[in-house]
């Protein structure tokens, strides 16, 4: 029995084990999927619970002794109630994918016990699917010891990589920006922040050679469109993480510009103070 919350379950339609947060992401776009306890002896049907955390619970309860049964429900008179401690802290799952929840084929019936058992076995050796935003992926990367990064899988645009191989240091460009793969990898490097009237400008310290000139990569953002945190980074060195948009030469040819969509949570630029 567990005294924390159940945050992973098998998703029948996805043929995968998913995090409760990803299940919530599916739900929020209108997909009601079938979820099950991944313990082979149990396989109880579970659904999403949401209080201050997002977790799975078994309305018809787990089998006795299932490790996903909560302590409180073990002896409780109310079956299936999760050990919902409203302020309980759930460790954020490490994203296995950068991007929105993947598409899936609708299944017309629920699985048989045998099918579920096979899925439980298959998914017991694969990492749990958790679809993260660019910010969440970078947060997880920063938290990891660099020697551990290769152990954690990360899929970007269908390419299976890990937290080491998916990140490319800006210096690997060897001054040629075309050597950086902005669309399939996350590019990172040092930059500094300046305040320019009504906007903030972020310059890479690393310079690229373009048509014989040494150019920085520059990102500017209007103050009114910008999170407050850039203000505190003015005049400081920062780390930038870039994914998706490819920088382009400014009309004057004096800088490499970057245009991002502020509403895209899965691509763009993340700026982190050092």
Binding site for Zn ion (CB under 5 A): 37, 39, 42, 44, 62, 66, 68
Would you put residue 2 in left (φ > 0), alpha (ψ -120 to 50) or beta? beta
* Cα angle 47-27-29, degrees, rounded to a multiple of 5: 170
Please state the length of the chain.
274
With contact defined as beta carbons under 8 Å apart, do 143 and 93 qualify? no
For residue 44, the minimal CB distance to Zn ion (Å) is 5
Cβ–Cβ < 8 Å for 87, 52 = yes
Tell me the closest approach of the beta carbon of residue 103 to Zn ion, in angstroms: 28
Q: 3-class DSSP state for residue 185?
A: coil
Q: Which is nearer to Zn ion, 43 or 170 (CB)?
A: 43
Supply the minimum distance, in Å, between the C-beta of residue 19 and Zn ion. Answer: 16
CB-wise, 66 or 161, nearer to Zn ion? 66
Q: Whole-number minimum distance, CB 67 to Zn ion, in Å?
A: 7
Partner residues linked to 241 by β-bridges: 188, 270
CB of 44 or CB of 217, closer to Zn ion: 44
C-beta of 35 vs 167, nearer to Zn ion: 35
Nearest approach, Cβ of 116 to Zn ion (angstroms)? 11
Which residue, 10 or 177, is less far from Zn ion as judged by CB?
Answer: 10
Buried b (16+ CB within 10 A) or exposed e, 6-15: bbbbbbbbbb
């Amino acid at each position: 029995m567990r005294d924390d919350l159940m945050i992973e379950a098998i998703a029948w339609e996805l043929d995968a084990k998913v995090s409760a947060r990803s299940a919530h992401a599916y739900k929020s776009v209108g997909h009601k999927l079938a979820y099950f306890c991944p313990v082979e002896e149990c396989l109880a049907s579970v659904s999403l619970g949401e209080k201050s955390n997002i977790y799975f619970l078994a309305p018809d309860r787990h089998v006795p002794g299932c490790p996903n049964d909560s302590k409180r429900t073990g002896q409780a008179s109310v079956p299936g109630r999760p050990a919902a401690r409203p302020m309980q802290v759930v460790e954020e799952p490490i994203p296995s994918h950068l991007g929105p929840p993947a598409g899936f084929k609708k299944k017309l019936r629920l699985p048989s016990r045998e099918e579920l058992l096979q899925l439980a076995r298959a998914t017991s050796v694969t990492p749990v699917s958790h679809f993260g935003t660019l910010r969440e992926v970078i947060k997880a990367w920063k938290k990891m010891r660099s020697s551990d990064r290769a152990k954690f899988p990360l899929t970007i645009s269908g390419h299976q990589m890990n937290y080491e191989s998916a990140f490319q240091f800006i210096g690997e460009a060897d001054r040629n920006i075309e050597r950086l793969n902005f669309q399939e990898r996350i590019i990172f490097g040092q930059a500094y922040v300046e305040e320019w009237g009504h906007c903030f400008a972020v310059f890479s310290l690393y310079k690229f050679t373009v048509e014989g000139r040494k150019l920085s990569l520059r990102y500017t953002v209007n103050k009114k469109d910008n999170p407050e945190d850039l203000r505190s980074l003015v005049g400081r060195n920062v780390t930038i993480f870039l994914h998706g948009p490819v920088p382009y030469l400014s009309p004057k040819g004096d800088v490499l510009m970057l245009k991002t969509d502020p509403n895209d949570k899965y691509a763009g630029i993340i700026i982190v103070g050092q």
